[in-house]
Structure 1
Amino acid sequence: MLMTGSQIVLEVLAEEKVDTVFGYPGGTILNVYDALYDNQLGIRHFITAHEQGAAHAADGYARATGKTGVVFATSGPGSTNLVTGIATAYMDSIPMVAITANVPNAQIGSDSFQEVYITGITMPITKHNFVVRRVEELADTIRQAFSIANSGRPGPVLVDIPKDVTAAACEFLPAPAPAAPERPAEIDPAVIAEVAALINAAERPVIHFGGGVIGSGASPLVYELAHRASIPACHTIMGTGVLSYNDPLNMGMVGMHGNISAGLAINGADLLLVIGARFSDRVATKPSDFARRARIVQIDIDRSEINKNIHIDYSIVGDVGRVLEAVLPLIERKEHPAWQAQIDAWRADDVVPPASALDGKLHPYDIIHAVAELAGEDAIIVTDVGQHQMWTAQYCGRTQPRSFLTSGGLGTMGFGYGAAVGAQVAFPKRRVIHITGDGCFHMNLNELCTSVSYHLPVITVVLNNGVLGMVRQWQTLFYDHRYSSTSLHRKTDFAKVAEAFGAKGFHADTAEEFREKFSKALGSGAPCVIECRIDEDEMVMPMIPGGSTVKEAYRSAPVVSEL
């Protein structure tokens, strides 16, 4: 059948079972949008307030569903506005296909209006990217983009299409019947047996898992391994929800703002089994001292992660689900009573905030505990980046994977609202709670109009301390209270801003008032913003200073005389 390039784009998206696209139209991509106007393929398009919001929405959609997120943008500033969103997805291994349009082939290289070399710009932050010069190559290129985005370690792929290619026509041939899936590389059974023997022989084992477990869909296998051999487990921020927060073997998050007990367990372990995690500097805060008593086994789909940051004793490169399926039959049922008793003693000394303080102030843990309780286990919690992100990771009480969405690797302020839109579009019947700070919300509150326009009942909780909280915390602890450019002196009334956008706005100044306003927001069925004033000197504790070990962690905010 003869089709234009624009029609081919939509046909291939339908082949790939894409039903949702986020984006923003413009001159060079108008042919695609014109084809979208009368498409009969069931593809929904959501226009955001800004292309960066569209990229984060595609990312949030992918994180929440496990599907590939898709974003459209026009040339020049449209495509460059995607860059931060693409980099965010790249750092966290999120499958995404970005389709950008460019100036016609004849104008490329002439500095024409809104021309930019987007494939060169995004080369370091994509798994791969393409420029399609001929319409005959378009269908197979987009198919290849989806294949790359989802194969191996997932990630973003960009396809740039000159405008004349979207207008040109050629014979479109539907994708051939899928061939038999390529047989995965065999996992050496001798290595599997050796790793299983190490697990069976260990007296002080610890499992450390990350986002790769969620990407693989291997959460039930991690649960089975931990419980079969009674192995305590801890996780990166990206692994939140793999094990329920109340699982007795779950020691919680580890690292700079993780539980002290988890860090001590890793340091005291004789075997550390690392599954789908990459030893970032926020976890291995001092690499030379990390798990130095343990034999370390790393399971990861990306060979480049092996021995990158930490020396590994044993490694298995492959999909963590397939590896665990091979290992589990060889694992003996075992208890480690002495080791568990030691861990329980460490956990008894962890930093645990009170259920509610008696000082009359509204504290972050009051807010997060209330969100977790009132929104329920099925809620999807999305954060921006900073202190509120760490407080949420510590207290959000997630019991299932893909229910806590955050920018872990790039640490993108402004990620949260777009990602919340993507999650709410994916799951219209689930509650999506966006937790943010006043600094971050100023970066993405323009996307309130997206929720209002599409009747998406995203609830935003703003922890407003009037400062850039995490930066100020570092300035307090390590820069002698020299608060350079972190006190914002802004007069924004976020509740009034919400009302101006057509959403509902609330203020809360006490824990009781927050619970009341949050309950109202849950029952409203509308986009809501709840502004919560918290103290500018609230700190995220515990905290391991960069380059230090868990033994040097702050357990509470030091008083001035200690600085």
Structure 2
Amino acid sequence: MAKLNGGQVLVEVLRRFGIDTAFTLHGGHLDAAYQAARDAGMRVIDTRHEQAAGFAASAYARSSGRVGLAMVTAGGGITNVVSPVANALADCVPMLIIGGAPALQDVDALPVNGGVDQMAVMRAITKWAVQVPHINRLADLLGQAIRKAGSGKPGPVYVEVPIDIMFGRIEEAEVRHLDGDVAPARPAPNAQAVDRIVEMLRGAERPVILAGGGTLYSGCAKELRAFAERSGIPVLTNGKSRGILPTDHPLWGRGYATLAPARGQGLVPDLLLVLGARFGIYTGGRRKSFLPPEAKIVQVDIEGGDIGRIREADLAVIADCGETLRALLQATERNPLPDTRDWATRLCAVGSASKQNFAAAAKSERGAVHPYRLALAVANAIPRDAVVCLDGGESHSWIDMTAHSDAPGRWLGHGYVGSMGEGLPLAVGAQVANPGRRVVCFTGDGSLGFNFAEFDTFVRHGLPVVVVVNNDQMWGMSAHGQDLMYGEGKRMVSELGRTRYDQAAAGFGCHAEFVEDVADLDAAIERALASNKPACVNVMTDPGVMHPITQRFVGRMAEQDASRNFVPYADDLEA
């Protein structure tokens, strides 16, 4: 009878569960798995940093709807992957992290890559974490982890494989595999809940759908569009659900924050149908939420513990968003809901009005590059089905105003943790998940520095990602925020140099462009796209331009109100 080593067992489990791509950085603790992956024809993308491997796996999951896999070695490999794993936990991204570890018999013996309680670290930032205690448990524990990552509320899971188990041997007949084709049924709302939702929608004159990440992972874009179009209910999205309606659809009203200026125009929803979204900073926070206090709330979420945070729901439904939408479509098929298309038109017009503030910048043809003009040039140059990866503070917000999203999973940016430096790694994962689709990374010069060596990953693996750098020679949101808080001339640790990132990327073998004058901008972007190579377009933008989002974060500090003690990103304190 043939014997298998732990690496072979591990790769066979991945194969059975349909996981055919891994993101990693080499470590000897994982060599048995690498050899098995090579023999099985599994795609292995090696990055230049474990953090990059983690973010790439996250992007792969968000863009493909499948579980993303990162494999990292013991010790520093584990600590390096903490940020992307914590980010995946906060943003409910289905990820599997396989970690190497010293031999079980070497516990507390300070072996190589030892000295840290890896399980304690990973338990704190994952949905589930387990150390494989014996090679005869490797297959079933790994299969269980994969199921947990993608079922219910998605999230990252961690499986630690000590080196003596990874390289150990077991009779093939003794391996206990779980069935990779078995998937838990998604919970559907009961009939009473569906009837109550329909009743509340019939009584509403100004309903709004807030779509969140739960709509992405339930794969219900078709059902959501059909339900919105049947009734004329406008849809607002967050970063994870963007594209659930194409962003040129007449019922898309942009982000949740549209509700803030809408209120100023007297456009106040009377019902919010919240589908797979959580209340937090992206709905305005705990005390300054822009959710209308007078509106009724119907909150649908697969995780009951996320219902009622900050704002209690008038109707709470613990169910999958896709199952809920299918039930609502069936319930309203013969007796449609009142048509609220006129209300939707007025609300959605608010969401698009912000672009009017930059009409002059959009038409500029010579001189310094305005960051809005840069974002508009990128948006106009890329195809409709492109995947856009974002990084940075103000840079993230400029491209948000201009770029199109044609489908869910094609808009990848920051979540609750707010990790800087994820743009290039996200583009790695997105391009691997979408080999025939254009992937563009729009980033600030500050964020670019975190994982700059991933330009090398693009080149080695033939990933034709185009990276556009909004180079304002500073951490834009930080520098502008300090100007508002303390006055000009008092910046601290927020300024950067006039760096030629294009030349550094060219050293890795990338196509490179450098732009100082807006007259050269459009042609440079077109050349980068036409090169069909990894590319860096380094654009020197006007450092004096501040995005309105920074003003909203800390702008009131400019009032110099002595009665208040202003605090960035939080509630003011008493002076």
| TM-score using structure 1 length | 0.91
Shift of 1:198: 0.7
Shift of 1:511: 3.5
> How many residue pairs align between the two structures?
551
CA distance in 2 between partners of 1:341 and 1:152 (Å) = 35
Aligned-residue CA RMSD in angstroms? Answer: 2.7
2:464 pairs with 1:457: yes
User: Is 2:143–2:178's contact at 8 Å kept on the other side of the alignment?
Assistant: no
CA distance in 2 between partners of 1:259 and 1:484 (Å) = 33
Shift of 1:363: 1.7
Q: Residue type matched to 2:56 in 1?
A: A
CA distance in 2 between partners of 1:221 and 1:264 (Å) = 32
CA separation of 1:346 and 1:479: change in aligned 2, threshold 3 A: same
CA separation of 1:151 and 1:321: change in aligned 2, threshold 3 A: same
Q: Residue type matched to 2:134 in 1?
A: R
Q: Residue type matched to 1:169 in 2?
A: R
CA distance in 1 between partners of 2:350 and 2:546 (Å) = 22
Shift of 1:105: 0.6
Question: Structure 1 stretch 135-144 or stretch 512-521: which is displaced more?
Answer: 512-521
Q: Residue type matched to 1:283 in 2?
A: T
CA distance in 2 between partners of 1:5 and 1:299 (Å) = 42
Q: Which residue of 2 aligns with 1:528?
A: 535
Question: Structure 1 stretch 514-523 or stretch 26-35: which is displaced more?
Answer: 26-35
Q: Residue type matched to 1:314 in 2?
A: L
User: Is 2:397–2:549's contact at 8 Å kept on the other side of the alignment?
Assistant: no
CA separation of 1:434 and 1:259: change in aligned 2, threshold 3 A: farther
CA distance in 1 between partners of 2:80 and 2:451 (Å) = 13
Shift of 1:365: 2.0
User: Is 1:236–1:283's contact at 8 Å kept on the other side of the alignment?
Assistant: no
CA distance in 2 between partners of 1:4 and 1:62 (Å) = 28
CA distance in 2 between partners of 1:340 and 1:166 (Å) = 57
Secondary structure at the aligned position of 1:238 is classed as coil
Shift of 1:358: 6.5
Q: Which residue of 1 aligns with 2:34?
A: 33
Q: Which residue of 2 aligns with 1:22?
A: 23
Structure 1 unmatched ranges of 5 or more: 548-552
Q: Which residue of 1 aligns with 2:84?
A: 85
Q: Residue type matched to 2:243 in 1?
A: G
CA distance in 2 between partners of 1:559 and 1:289 (Å) = 22
Shift of 1:473: 2.8
Shift of 1:341: 6.3
Secondary structure at the aligned position of 2:281 is classed as coil
2:20 pairs with 1:13: no
Q: Equivalences for 1:342-421 in 2 at 5 Å?
A: 342-343=346-347, 346=350, 350-352=354-356, 353-354=358-359, 355-357=362-364, 360-421=367-428
2:127 pairs with 1:127: yes
CA separation of 1:183 and 1:65: change in aligned 2, threshold 3 A: closer
2:245 pairs with 1:246: no
CA distance in 2 between partners of 1:475 and 1:213 (Å) = 37
CA distance in 2 between partners of 1:56 and 1:79 (Å) = 14
CA distance in 1 between partners of 2:397 and 2:293 (Å) = 27
Q: Which residue of 1 aligns with 2:500?
A: 493
User: Is 2:253–2:350's contact at 8 Å kept on the other side of the alignment?
Assistant: no
Question: Structure 1 stretch 141-150 or stretch 503-512: which is displaced more?
Answer: 503-512
Q: Equivalences for 1:438-477 in 2 at 5 Å?
A: 438-477=445-484
2:316 pairs with 1:315: yes
2:210 to 208, 211, 215: 208
2:92 pairs with 1:96: no
Secondary structure at the aligned position of 1:237 is classed as coil
CA separation of 1:205 and 1:149: change in aligned 2, threshold 3 A: same
CA distance in 1 between partners of 2:264 and 2:317 (Å) = 25
Q: Which residue of 2 aligns with 1:226?
A: 228
Q: Which residue of 2 aligns with 1:74?
A: 73
Secondary structure at the aligned position of 1:443 is classed as coil
User: Is 1:259–1:542's contact at 8 Å kept on the other side of the alignment?
Assistant: no
Map Cα deviations across residues 273-295 of structure 1 (whole Å, 9 max, x no partner): 11111112132333566321110
CA separation of 1:181 and 1:239: change in aligned 2, threshold 3 A: closer
Q: Residue type matched to 2:370 in 1?
A: H
Structure 2 unmatched ranges of 5 or more: 567-575
Kindly, what percent of the aligned residue pairs are identical? Answer: 30
Shift of 1:444: 1.2
CA distance in 1 between partners of 2:254 and 2:473 (Å) = 30
User: Is 1:504–1:528's contact at 8 Å kept on the other side of the alignment?
Assistant: yes
User: Is 1:385–1:411's contact at 8 Å kept on the other side of the alignment?
Assistant: no
Secondary structure at the aligned position of 1:239 is classed as coil
Secondary structure at the aligned position of 2:512 is classed as strand
Q: Which residue of 2 aligns with 1:142?
A: 142
Map Cα deviations across residues 430-487 of structure 1 (whole Å, 9 max, x no partner): 1110110010001111111111111211110000111111112322333434644344
CA distance in 2 between partners of 1:363 and 1:59 (Å) = 32
Secondary structure at the aligned position of 1:402 is classed as coil
Shift of 1:156: 0.8
Q: Which residue of 2 aligns with 1:550?
A: none
Q: Equivalences for 1:539-558 in 2 at 5 Å?
A: 539-541=546-548, 545=552
